[in-house]
Amino acid sequence: MDKKGAEKILAVYWFTILILVAGGIFAMVYTFYHYPYDVREMEANIMINNLADCLSKNGKIESYVIFQDGTFNEPFKIDFLNQCHFNFDNGERYERDQYYLQADFYKFEDLENPLASISGGNQNWIADCKLEKDEENYEKTAQCLERRFYSLGQNGNQYLIKILAIVGKTKENVK
């Protein structure tokens, strides 16, 4: 093969490489920017913070949650979403609620059985939290986040409060 023929073959080879690299970059960029930003973990975190602020201030459980005598305020269980300023209404965007929020109160002496539980939102999302990260379709399930903190009651008793927040919204956060 003469020099000119070799150069032509080299040019074709070079262009093939270039097309492959460009195709790779194109595919990567396209995939990256066409995946929505998943902000559900941040939302769940904010939900937990807001609820924790509502339940306890300066390390003390609010008197409208647990009374001085250590009993739980039952009406608060029903109305806690309103009292803590949560609005889970999605309008017409979704058929069902996209949020779930639950708080369990444990006495320090008995960390197995909760003294009281409050919950609001769509309970159907709880099943999604049982999926393991390596399971199929895990990415397309709701985002669950659990955090816990200790607080004192009005009478000085110690309580453990576990908060579970779940955010669905898969349509806007997952492809």
Beta sheet of 56-57, edge-to-edge order: 56-57, 60-61, 143-152, 158-167, 99-107, 116-121
Span 8-37, contacts to other proteins by CB under 8 A: 11, 14-15, 18, 22, 25-26, 29-30, 33, 36-37
Tell me whether residue 47 or residue 116 sits nearer to other proteins (CB atom). Answer: 47
Q: Which of 145, 151, 169, 170 binds other proteins (CB under 8 A)?
A: 169
Residue whose tokens read 């639950």: 102
Residue whose tokens read 């941040």: 42
Span 50-69, contacts to other proteins by CB under 8 A: 50
Query: Does position 5 bind other proteins by CB under 8 A?
Result: no
Span 90-149, contacts to other proteins by CB under 8 A: 90-91, 93, 98-99
Tokens of 89: 């209404």
3-state secondary structure of 128: helix
